[in-house]
Homo-oligomer: A and B are copies of this chain.
Amino acid sequence: VILVNGEAREEVSALDRGLAYGDGVFRTLRARAGAVELWRQHFGKLRRDCARLRIECPAESMLRAEVDELVTGERDCVVKIIVTRGPGGRGYAAPREAAPTRIVATFPPPPQRPDSDKEGVRVRWCETRLAHQPALAGVKHLNRLENVLARAEWDDPDIAEGLMCDASERVVEGTMTNVFILEGGRLVTPPLDRCGVEGVQRERLLGLAPEQGIACSIEEISRTRLLAAEQIYLVNSIVVLWWVARLEARRWARADVTPLLLSILET
């Protein structure tokens, strides 16, 4: 079922600026046993992203009611929320009185990777580079062709994720995850002020890990530095936390601290 502006329907205007220009933002969150996870963080991020594009954010109570309508009675599912600037005419100038479109849809949860907690996941490098665009960096907007191109680089189902660099060969993120590395017992994640998406789980880990005595730092990470890490982690709201067991030829065993990190993010 899909709700478009609160009504059950499958379609949106062919003139929506979300389609014409990718003029909008989105969120992907998880619901278990009918309960939405991390709503406060996701709605906060949605509001900040809308503000970055000067799109009016839907009222929280209305949006939450629509999400609840879809997830109530469901077992586990993934919820996707899209907010666009709404229908427009032709041309880049937004209508003076834009009426944002909100779309709420649910999807089945992705298949759990067998024993990913115990066995870790396999990842690869992507050739597609993330361009530097400070005006859009951090925002989960609908201009996602770089991610589409990167994800199209492999179709081996054993590879869980691809790592993306910028043009200066700095590691930025996975196609759908944020990246952390473990170095001497502390966590490091790259800055996202030139490119990349600031995910909710990245923000949570940066806030919660220090409370468990694990220092966190935002620093540039070269490929060499990543390969030398004691462990690589990938986080998002759907997979929560993956540890990387294999990146092309390089292999890692599970670090002792990994179960603690997973328990920090599990709600």
Binding site for B on A (CB under 8 A): 2, 4, 9-23, 26, 28, 53-54, 78, 80, 82, 84, 89-94, 103, 105, 107, 110, 128-129, 131-133, 135-136, 141-152, 155, 167, 175-176
Kindly provide the distance from the CB of A33 to the nearest chain B CB, expressed in whole angstroms: 20
When distances are taken between beta carbons in the complex, the residues of chain B under 8 Å from A21 are: 22, 142-145, 147-148
B15, B53, B132: the one contacting A167 at CB < 8 Å is B132
- In this complex, which of A146, A175, A176 has the most chain B Cβ atoms within 10 angstroms of its Cβ? A146
With known contacts A94-B148, A149-B135, A151-B93, A22–B142 Cβ distance under 8 A: yes
Indicate how many identical chains form the complex: 2
Kindly provide the distance from the CB of A236 to the nearest chain B CB, expressed in whole angstroms: 11
Asked if residues B20 and A92 are in contact (CB atoms below 8 Å), the reply is: no
When distances are taken between beta carbons in the complex, the residues of chain B under 8 Å from A146 are: 133, 135-136
Asked if residues B20 and A142 are in contact (CB atoms below 8 Å), the reply is: yes
Q: A9-B14, A53-B148 are known; give 6 further A-B pairs, CB within 8 A.
A: A11-B11, A20-B82, A21-B148, A128-B135, A136-B146, A143-B143
Asked if residues B144 and A135 are in contact (CB atoms below 8 Å), the reply is: no
With known contacts A4-B14, A13-B11, A131-B132, A144–B176 Cβ distance under 8 A: no
Asked if residues A92 and B14 are in contact (CB atoms below 8 Å), the reply is: no
Asked if residues B14 and A144 are in contact (CB atoms below 8 Å), the reply is: no
A78 to B90, CA, bound (A): 9
Asked if residues B10 and A148 are in contact (CB atoms below 8 Å), the reply is: no
Asked if residues A94 and B19 are in contact (CB atoms below 8 Å), the reply is: no
When distances are taken between beta carbons in the complex, the residues of chain B under 8 Å from A148 are: 17, 21, 23, 53, 92, 94
Asked if residues A82 and B19 are in contact (CB atoms below 8 Å), the reply is: yes
- In this complex, which of A20, A26, A105 has the most chain B Cβ atoms within 10 angstroms of its Cβ? A20
